[in-house]
Amino acid sequence: MQDLSTLELMRLTSPPQACSYLPEQTASLEYRIIFAIDPAAYEDLLQRGWRRHGCHFFRPACPACTECRSLRVDVARFRPTKSQRRCLARNTHVRVEIGEPAVSGSHLRLFNTYHADMHERRGWPHKRVTPEEYVESFLVGTWSFAREFRYFDGSRLVGVGLVDEVASGLSSVYFYHEPAWRPLGPGTFSILSEIEHARDTGRPWHYLGYWIAGCASMSYKARFGPHELLLCDPPDGEQPLWQPDSPAR
DSSP symbols for 40-101: HHHHHHHTTT-EEETTEEEEE--SS----EEEEEETTT----HHHHHHHHHTTTEEEEEE--
Predicted pLDDT at 41: 93
> In Å, how far from its chain's centre is CA 11?
21
Q: Which residues, given as ranges, of the chain have pLDDT below 70? A: 1, 5, 246-249
Instruction: List CB contacts of 23: < 8 A, sequence separation 6 or more.
Output: none
Distance (Å) of CA 67 to CA 22, 25, 32, 139:
9, 10, 21, 30
The predicted model scores a pTM of 0.92
* End-to-end CA, the chain: 38
CA distances from 242 to 26, 95, 103 (A): 25, 34, 36
Please name every residue paired with 60 in a beta bridge, in sequence order, or none if there are none: 29
pLDDT the model gives residue 7: 78
The whole-number pLDDT of residue 245 equals 81
Q: What is the pLDDT of residue 249?
A: 45
Residues in the chain: 249
Q: Distance between CA 95 and CA 112 in Å, rounded?
A: 22
Question: CB–CB of 81/222 below 8 Å?
Answer: no
Cα gap 41→34, rounded to integer Å = 12
Q: What is the pLDDT of residues 71-80, one digit of tens each?
A: 999 999 999 9
pLDDT of residue 213: 86
Residues 6+ apart with CB under 8 A from 208: 71, 72, 73, 172, 191, 221, 224, 227
Task: Please give the pLDDT value at position 134.
Answer: 92
Largest Cα separation within the chain, whole Å, is 49
Confidence at residue 178, expressed as pLDDT on a 0 to 100 scale: 96
